[in-house]
Structure formats: structure tokens, C-alpha cells
Amino acid sequence: MQRKTTVLTGLDHELSEGCPNLTDQRIGMVCNHTAVTAQGEHAVDALLEAGVHIVRLFGPEHGFRGEVPDGIKIESDRDALTGLPCTSLYGQRLRPTAEELKEIDLLVYDIQDLGVRFYTYIWTLRECMAAAAESGTPFLVLDRPGIVGSAIEGNVLDERFSSFVGQKPLAWRYAMTPGELATLYSRQGWLGYSQNMDLKVVKMLNYQRGIWADETGLPWIAPSPNIPTPTSCIHYPGTCLFEGFSTVTEGRGTEFPFEIVGAPFVNGEDWAKAMEQFDLEGIEFEPAVFTPRSIPKKVDKPKFMDDKCGGLRLVCSDRSTYSPVRVGIALIKTLLELYPDQVVFRELHFDRLSGTDQLRLNLLAGKTLDEIMLSLESSLPGFLPIREACLLY
């Protein structure tokens, strides 16, 4: 049964009190299209109307307006709607420059997160915090809810595989809000500077840990072009691993990215049958046939564009028991068993997503699913007390 919850985000909390943390300062806003009020008004518009002096915008992957497909570098420009200068943090560089921060009294972050280590917004958060720490610029997080439950799953990243889809030893699914992550980054010394950072989090009100997107009372805003629905959020932590293959698609170019996976050589009925061996909870597998297409502002030339693919559509029957990481790994294991000569890893990218090479090596060695998961999650116990100390709710 869904909770009847109306969350007051950090943005709405700040606005409701007359913006006490933002008045009489030059503000830099790190945000995108997900930074909206409960009424659906963009944060920048709402804050400008409230008299806040915003001098510069900073946009993450997918751009300030969230209309650029994944992985495409973005040029800095002026925002067409507000006329404000907008620095891209997913182009030539990942963080604000010292010169840009000289014109700012306070750097503010407001972006909806997914709660998955390889979703790049959280590393934009870290890069911005590091730049602010180095320059002595105060940093404020307008907090937003976790929207995919409270489960902690997967491994802790091995820093030998650090990249922009995982920079520091964070759990695969970490069940923390952006404000809690910022607290973790600062306390753990993950910013690269020894001085204490001037960090403040404007907390949410009425937030319950473990809440899902459709239980917040907030408008649904797709956090990125290929996470179009709350359902795609649920599957993404596991099916994103299929980005790490050159011969299997994660469903980009369809109506159901990250809910549907497959390839031209796959027989969905055979794959579904093979998945029965695991008796996985909270999930059903429907054989599917689909054809990826280019979709403007979502994906350009997806894998197997215009080719008919066989595969599976994932249907979550009980999200409280569903473990998407375990399911994603089980899908890969069975696919390797069915089509050992046709499943080809993009090794470097798969290992960066996984935060280790051991997952790929264990899959190739034919280890059981339980053995693979035991090995993968052996790093979690050390992370849990570090996380617990940074929780704000």
C-alpha cells in the first residue's frame, strides 16, 4: 500500500522560509531540469521570483535543461530562457573554475538523484564540492528524496577502477540523499583538500527513508532522457550493466529503456526459461521482440538501430523484495551460458560500471550466482557504518 506522503524538498523548504540562506549573496546554481518545486516550477525561476541574485548556472550530463542524450559532451553557453551564463560540467571540464567561483558567494546544488553509483550527477556534486573547497566558496545542498527504496546492494568501488561513473569507494546502491552524500564526501576527505568545507544542507520535511518516486507527492520529472518513468528507475541499477557489452542492448531506442534487454541473436523464450533456475523474488520476465530506433533528444544511433532484437522485458511484481543488481547479474550469467560466443564485453566500461574486474572474471569463470554475489558484496560491511554516520533522516 502506497504511503500518503507529501515531501517538502530542500528547495521548497528554503522558499517557504523566505530564502534565508540565499539572500544578499551572489549565487551559482548547479542544477538541471529536475530542480523543480512541488508545483513544477523550475528552481531558478522560483528563486529569481523570490529575489535571489543568481549570477551563473552550471549544468551536469544531459545539460541544464536535460535534453542532451547520454555521453554527449556539452558546450558552455547562455541559457535561452533566463539569459544567464551556463557553464557545462560535462564537456571540456567537470568542475567550476577558480575564476567562475570568484564571482560567486555561494554555490548551490539541486539535482534529483537515482541512488546508483554510476549515475553521474553524484560525481558532479563531488567535483563542485572539491572546487568550492579549494577556493573557500561556501556550498549549499537543497536536498531531494531517494526515490528507489532503501536497499543497499552490490559492492563498494575499488578505486583502481575509478572513473566518472564511480570516483570513490561508494556502494553500488547506497540509499542516501544528495545532502547525505555531500556530508559523506566532506567527512571522508573525498574532496582532495584537508581544510574543513563550509557545507550546509537544507533538509527536507516529511521525508521517510525508503520512499519511492510515486510516494513523494512530487511531480515526476524524468531525471535523464532514458529514465522516462519511475519503473525504469527501479530496473536501472541492474540493467545498466548491459551498457558494458558491445553485442547486447540495454533497451535504448525503445519505449522501455532499461526495462527491456536483448540482441538480434537472442531468443526471449529460451532466456526466460533459463532465468527460472534462480527463483528470483519480485520480478517476472516476459519474452519480447523489439527494434531500437533513434529518438530525438533521447538517443542517437542506439545499438542495433533498426534491427529486430529478441530479449526480455522485466516486470517488477514486488519492489520491496526485488534486487535489481542480483537480477542484472543473473541475466548476464544466463546469457553467457546460452550464447557464449556471441556475448562480447566492453571490458573497460563494464569494469568501471561494476567498480571491479572481479564481477566480469567470476561470470566468465562460470561461478554460481550465490558465489558471485558473495564475492561482490564482501566489501559492503565496511561501508555501512561510514554511511550511517552521515544520515540526516
Partner residues linked to 142 by β-bridges: 202
Task: Determine the average pLDDT of the residues in 137-144.
Answer: 98
Question: pLDDT band at residue 70, thresholds of 50, 70 and 90?
Answer: confident
Partner residues linked to 368 by β-bridges: none
The whole-angstrom separation of Cα 256 and Cα 272 is 18
The whole-angstrom separation of Cα 249 and Cα 304 is 8
* pLDDT value for 222: 95
The whole-angstrom separation of Cα 298 and Cα 62 is 9
Length reported for the chain: 393
Nearest Cα residue to 8 out of 119, 144, 132, 155:
144
Per-residue pLDDT tens digits for 275-323: 999 999 999 999 999 999 999 989 999 999 999 999 999 999 999 999 9
Kindly write down the DSSP assignment for every residue of 26-87, as one continuous string.
EEEEEE-TT-B-TTS-BHHHHHHHTT-EEEEEEE-TTTTTT-S-TT-----EE-TTT--EEE
Chain centroid to CA 203: 20
Non-local (6+) Cβ contacts of 14 within 8 A are 20, 21, 22, 142, 202
Per-residue pLDDT tens digits for 317-367: 999 999 999 999 999 999 999 999 999 999 999 999 999 999 999 999 999
Partner residues linked to 342 by β-bridges: none
Per-residue pLDDT tens digits for 221-234: 999 999 999 999 99
Domains of the chain: 10-222 (3.40.50.12170), 230-356 (3.90.1150.140)
Per-residue pLDDT tens digits for 163-195: 999 999 999 999 999 999 999 999 999 998 766
Partner residues linked to 77 by β-bridges: 86
The whole-angstrom separation of Cα 122 and Cα 84 is 24
Average pLDDT, the chain: 96
The whole-angstrom separation of Cα 277 and Cα 269 is 14
**DSSP for residue 116:** B
Q: Is 286 helix (H, G, I), strand (E, B) or coil?
A: strand
pTM of the model as a whole: 0.96
Question: pLDDT band at residue 2, thresholds of 50, 70 and 90?
Answer: low
For residue 6, is it left (φ>0), alpha (ψ between -120 and 50) or beta?
A: beta
C-alpha cell at 389: 554516520
